[in-house]
Structure 1
Amino acid sequence: MSFELRYSPAARLDIRRLYRFLLDRDPVVAEKAINVIEKAIGNLADFPFSSRKTRGNLPRIRELVIPFSNSGYVALYEIEDSTTVTILAVRHQREDDYH
């Protein structure tokens, strides 16, 4: 069974922000990073329970670690029900405000 992947408005803004940040430095790296993020998130359609649970007692809220270069990204997502996964946020692993 495949899950439908949805993005919250905040997650879409996060991805745009991350892309713009890299685009100013290196357009090739920006494209590679976004492709890696999209591919990793795409895998959640088939394997949403494969990622680690977040702190606390919220089994449906999980974090997907996305390796890239020397660090990577983390996608926060919620398994809404038996058919839907919603991406809540995407951050670089070195950002302080990951929620």
Structure 2
Amino acid sequence: MTELFGVEMTPQAEDDLERLFEFLVVRSETLEELDHAQHELHQLRTSIKKRLAENPWAYRKAGDGRRTTRRELIVGLGSTGYVALYEILPGREIRVLAVRHQREEDYH
């Protein structure tokens, strides 16, 4: 079994997840939709951590591509998706820098 990477969410990434959750809550009109919003953000967080812990080098380079340790993970959930910007650090550590909805312009 291969050794997993440690995954840390920065305060900015945590703020992004909260902002995304609040957006979903505002759009919720029923308790079922509110439950769905909670479930979607839980799935997003879980997917980011699991996929990056297993193989962070598998995802696309971010920016101009010269900095190979900064990358983006696309997480599809239903008919939409999210993008997590992260950096691979020495010592098998991953730092998630930001998370945005795929339809947003860019990271905040």
TM value normalised by structure 1: 0.90
Name the counterpart of 2:35.
28
Return the letter of the residue paired with 1:85. I
Moved over 2 A (4+): none
Q: Deviations over 1:18-64 (max 9, x none)?
A: 01110122212311221221122122111111211113201000100
Larger radius of gyration: 2
Any gaps of 5 or more consecutive residues in structure 2? Answer: 29-33
TM value normalised by structure 2: 0.83
Any gaps of 5 or more consecutive residues in structure 1? Answer: none
CA distance in 2, matches of 1:80, 1:36: 24
Identical counterparts, % of pairs = 38
Q: Aligned-residue CA RMSD in angstroms? A: 1.4
- For these two proteins, the number of residue pairs brought into alignment is 99
Return the letter of the residue paired with 2:5. F
- SS of aligned partner of 1:96: coil
